[in-house]
C-alpha cells in the first residue's frame, strides 16, 4: 500500500487555536498510526494578514504539543515560481483564461444576481475571448457548465455538487499571486499528499479543488472533513466561549498530553474510553471512528482530564513541565529526587500545574508567616507540649521512615494524651504555614529532618512569643 502522507497547512494570521490544533492532531495521529509522513506547510500568501509572529506562535504551539513533522516547514510565499508554472499549464491546456473584467463590473454582476435571488457568480464574459495576458488581468479556471462532482468524503460520506453552482473562479490575482484553491492543490500534488483531513468549513472549496486535480490529470487525495468544534451554545467556538490558543492552555498549567487527549476525543471515539496516553492514541487512531457530529468544547471536562493526566504521569516526566511553571512563579528548582518526591505528594491533588506549583511552594520556602485564622486556632499554649515532644522524638532519629515517624507521633500521643488530629494540625501549620496540604507524614518525609525540626522550632518560638505578649 502507498504510504499515507498527511499535512497541516495553517495560515499564520494569529495564534494556533484549539480548532486548528485538533486538525493538526488528526493529521499527525493518522500519519503516525499508519507509519506514514506528516508535512507542515505555512500558507502565507495573504501578505497583509500573515505575520512572522504568528509563524513563530504556531511553531511554539506545535512544539509544546510535541506534534513533530517529517517534511517542511514549507512556506507558500517561497513557492511562487511553482504556482506560476502550474497556472501556465492550465492556460496552455485550455483549462484557464485571462479575464479583464473590472472590479466594478464584477460588483455589478454580484448585485444583479442578488437582486434576482440568484447566487453571485462570474458570468463568463471573458471565457471564450482568448484574451492575452495584460497587466491587470486575472486568470480564471474554466469550470464545467453542467454535470456533477462527487466528493467521496471518508468522514461525511458522499457529497454531490452541481457544477452549475460553481463559477469560473480566479486562480491568479491581477498582482500575480495564486488564490488559496490553486496554491493548495499545487502544493498537495507536488508534496505527494494523499490524505487531506481538514475542518468542514472547507467543504465548499473541495469541488473546485477536485476540478483542478482533474485538469492536471492528477490522482485525487482522500478527503475527510472534520466536524467543527463548537461552544456550549452550539455556535462556532470563539473567545466568547473561553476558547483559547494552545499556548494559553500551556500557561494555565495544562499538560500537552491532556489537551491532545481532550481534542482528539472531541471528534473521535474508541468505545467509551476517555483517558488515552499519547502512545495509545497513536496505536488506536483510525479514521473509522471519527464522529460525524460537531464536538462541544467543555472547559470543565478538559480540566478534569488534565487532573487525570497529572495523576497518571510519572513524576520524572512531570518535572520537565513543572520546572518552567515554578520558575514563572519565582521558584528556581533543580530536577532530581527532591522535586520528584514533591510531585508525588501533589499529583493527586492538583488539577493544573499552576496549582501544583502553588502547592509546592512550602517545600522550597519555610513559612514566613502563618495563616492567621489557623494560627489563632492551632497555635495555642496547648500545642506547645506536643510540638516540643515531637522535636525531641525526631531529633533522636537518624533517618525518617514511615515506621519511625509513626512511632514518634505515637509516643507524643501517649505522653500528651492527645489524639493524632490535635497534633497533626499544629504540625502541618508549622511546616507549611497552611491548613491544607498533602499528608503530614509525606511532607515530613520530603522535607527531611533538618527542615522539619527547624520549622517546628520556629513555630514553638512563635507560640511562646504570642503567649507571652497576650
Rounded to whole angstroms, how far apart are CA atoms 329 and 307? 20
Q: How far is the CB of 41 from ligand GLU (least distance, A)?
A: 8
Binding pattern for the stretch 170-189 against ligand GLU, x by CB under 6 A and - elsewhere: --------------x-----
| Catalytic residue (one of 105, 239, 376, 380) | 239
CB atoms within 10 A of CB 43: 19
- What phi and psi values does residue 382 have, to the nearest 5 degrees? -65, -20
Residue for grid cell 514566613: 368
Q: Which of 135, 66, 10 is nearest to 321 (CA)?
A: 66
The three-point CA angle 209-214-220 to 5° equals: 70
Rounded to whole angstroms, how far apart are CA atoms 385 and 399? 23
Residue for grid cell 463559477: 167
Q: How far is the CB of 197 from ligand GLU (least distance, A)?
A: 8
Rounded to whole angstroms, how far apart are CA atoms 441 and 391? 14
Q: How far is the CB of 200 from ligand GLU (least distance, A)?
A: 11
Q: Which stretch binds ligand GLU (CB under 6 A): 6-14, 260-268, 321-329, 421-429?
A: 6-14
Q: Contact with ligand GLU (CB under 6 A): which of 4, 6, 9, 322?
A: 9
Q: Is 434 a catalytic residue?
A: no
Q: Contact with ligand GLU (CB under 6 A): which of 4, 5, 6, 10?
A: 10
Q: How far is the CB of 288 from ligand GLU (least distance, A)?
A: 21
123, 157 contact by CB (below 8 A): no
Could you tell me the three cell numbers for 187?
502544493
Q: Contact with ligand GLU (CB under 6 A): which of 32, 95, 198, 265?
A: 198
Q: Which residues contact 119 (CB under 8 A, 6 or more apart)?
A: 113, 165
Binding pattern for the stretch 30-49 against ligand GLU, x by CB under 6 A and - elsewhere: -------------x------
Bridge partners, residue 162, by sequence: 148
Which lies closer to ligand GLU via its Cβ, residue 9 or residue 347? 9
Q: How far is the CB of 303 from ligand GLU (least distance, A)?
A: 28
Q: How far is the CB of 299 from ligand GLU (least distance, A)?
A: 24
Q: Which residues contact 58 (CB under 8 A, 6 or more apart)?
A: 10, 12, 15, 16, 42
Q: Is 121 in the site for ligand GLU (CB under 6 A)?
A: no
Q: Which stretch binds ligand GLU (CB under 6 A): 3-11, 105-113, 126-134, 135-143?
A: 3-11
Q: Which stretch binds ligand GLU (CB under 6 A): 7-15, 65-73, 284-292, 349-357?
A: 7-15
Which lies closer to ligand GLU via its Cβ, residue 40 or residue 343? 40
Residue for grid cell 502553588: 358
Which lies closer to ligand GLU via its Cβ, residue 202 or residue 236? 202
Q: Which stretch binds ligand GLU (CB under 6 A): 9-17, 66-74, 332-340, 342-350?
A: 9-17
Rounded to whole angstroms, how far apart are CA atoms 377 and 3? 69
Which lies closer to ligand GLU via its Cβ, residue 190 or residue 344? 190
Which lies closer to ligand GLU via its Cβ, residue 11 or residue 404? 11
Q: Contact with ligand GLU (CB under 6 A): which of 33, 110, 202, 434?
A: 202
Which lies closer to ligand GLU via its Cβ, residue 198 or residue 309? 198
Q: How far is the CB of 228 from ligand GLU (least distance, A)?
A: 12
String of DSSP letters for 345-395 = HHGGG-SSHHHHHHHHHHHHS--SS--HHHHHHHSSHHHHHHHHHHHHHHH
Q: Is 11 in the site for ligand GLU (CB under 6 A)?
A: yes
Rounded to whole angstroms, how far apart are CA atoms 40 and 59? 10
Residue 419: CA count within 13 A, CB half-sphere: 2
Rounded to whole angstroms, how far apart are CA atoms 106 and 328? 55
Which lies closer to ligand GLU via its Cβ, residue 43 or residue 167? 43
Which lies closer to ligand GLU via its Cβ, residue 11 or residue 88? 11
Rounded to whole angstroms, how far apart are CA atoms 419 and 104? 88
Q: How far is the CB of 295 from ligand GLU (least distance, A)?
A: 17
Q: Is 12 in the site for ligand GLU (CB under 6 A)?
A: no
Report the side by side order of strands in the sheet with 157-162. 157-162, 148-153, 222-226, 195-199
Binding site for ligand GLU (CB under 6 A): 9-11, 43, 184, 198, 202
Active-site residue list: 239
Amino acid at each position: 500500500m502507498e504510504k499515507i502522507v498527511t499535512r497541516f497547512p495553517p495560515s499564520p494570521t494569529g495564534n494556533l487555536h484549539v480548532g486548528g490544533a485538533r486538525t493538526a492532531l488528526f493529521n499527525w495521529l493518522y500519519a503516525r498510526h499508519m507509519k506514514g509522513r506528516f508535512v507542515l506547510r505555512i500558507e502565507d500568501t495573504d501578505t497583509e494578514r500573515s505575520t512572522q509572529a504568528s509563524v513563530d506562535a504556531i511553531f511554539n504551539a506545535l512544539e509544546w504539543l510535541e506534534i513533530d513533522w517529517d517534511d517542511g516547514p514549507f512556506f507558500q510565499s517561497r513557492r511562487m515560481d511553482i504556482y506560476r508554472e502550474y497556472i501556465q499549464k492550465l492556460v496552455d491546456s485550455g483549462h484557464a483564461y485571462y479575464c479583464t473584467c473590472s472590479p466594478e463590473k464584477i460588483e455589478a454582476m454580484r448585485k444583479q444576481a442578488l437582486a434576482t435571488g440568484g447566487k453571485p457568480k462570474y458570468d463568463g464574459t471573458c471565457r471564450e475571448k482568448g484574451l492575452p495576458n495584460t497587466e491587470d488581468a486575472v486568470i480564471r479556471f474554466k469550470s464545467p457548465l453542467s454535470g456533477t462532482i462527487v466528493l467521496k468524503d471518508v468522514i461525511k460520506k458522499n457529497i454531490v455538487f452541481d457544477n452549475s453552482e460553481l463559477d469560473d473562479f480566479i486562480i491568479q490575482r491581477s498582482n500575480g499571486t495564486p488564490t488559496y484553491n490553486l496554491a493548495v492543490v499545487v502544493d498537495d500534488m507536488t508534496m505527494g499528499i494523499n490524505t487531506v483531513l481538514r475542518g468542514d468549513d472547507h467543504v465548499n472549496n473541495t469541488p473546485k479543488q477536485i476540478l483542478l486535480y482533474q485538469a492536471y490529470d492528477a490522482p485525487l487525495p482522500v478527503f475527510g472533513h472534520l466536524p467543527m468544534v463548537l461552544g456550549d451554545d452550539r455556535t462556532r467556538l470563539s473567545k466568547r466561549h473561553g476558547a483559547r490558543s494552545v499556548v494559553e492552555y500551556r500557561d494555565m498549567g495544562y499538560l500537552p498530553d491532556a489537551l491532545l487527549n481532550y481534542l482528539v476525543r472531541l471528534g473521535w471515539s474508541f468505545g467509551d474510553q476517555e483517558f488515552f496516553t499519547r502512545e495509545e492514541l497513536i496505536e488506536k487512531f483510525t479514521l473509522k471512528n471519527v464522529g460525524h457530529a460537531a464536538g462541544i468544547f467543555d472547559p470543565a471536562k478538559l480540566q478534569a482530564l488534565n487532573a487525570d493526566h497529572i495523576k497518571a504521569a510519572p513524576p520524572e516526566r512531570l518535572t520537565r513541565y513543572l520546572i518552567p511553571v515554578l520558575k514563572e512563579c519565582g521558584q528556581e528548582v533543580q530536577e532530581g529526587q527532591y522535586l520528584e518526591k514533591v510531585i508525588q505528594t501533589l499529583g493527586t491533588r492538583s488539577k493544573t500545574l499552576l496549582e501544583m506549583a502553588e502547592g509546592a511552594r512550602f517545600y522550597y520556602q519555610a513559612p514566613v508567616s502563618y495563616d492567621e485564622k489557623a494560627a489563632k486556632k492551632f497555635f495555642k499554649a496547648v500545642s506547645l507540649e506536643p510540638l516540643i515532644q515531637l522535636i525531641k522524638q525526631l531529633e533522636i532519629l537518624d533517618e525518617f521512615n514511615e515506621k519511625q515517624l509513626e512511632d514518634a507521633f505515637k509516643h507524643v500521643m501517649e505522653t500528651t494524651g492527645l489524639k493524632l488530629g490535635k497534633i497533626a494540625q499544629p504540625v502541618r501549620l508549622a511546616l507549611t504555614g497552611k491548613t491544607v496540604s498533602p499528608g503530614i507524614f509525606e511532607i515530613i518525609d520530603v522535607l527531611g529532618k533538618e527542615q522539619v525540626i527547624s520549622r517546628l522550632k520556629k513555630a514553638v518560638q512563635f507560640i511562646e512569643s504570642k503567649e507571652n505578649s497576650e
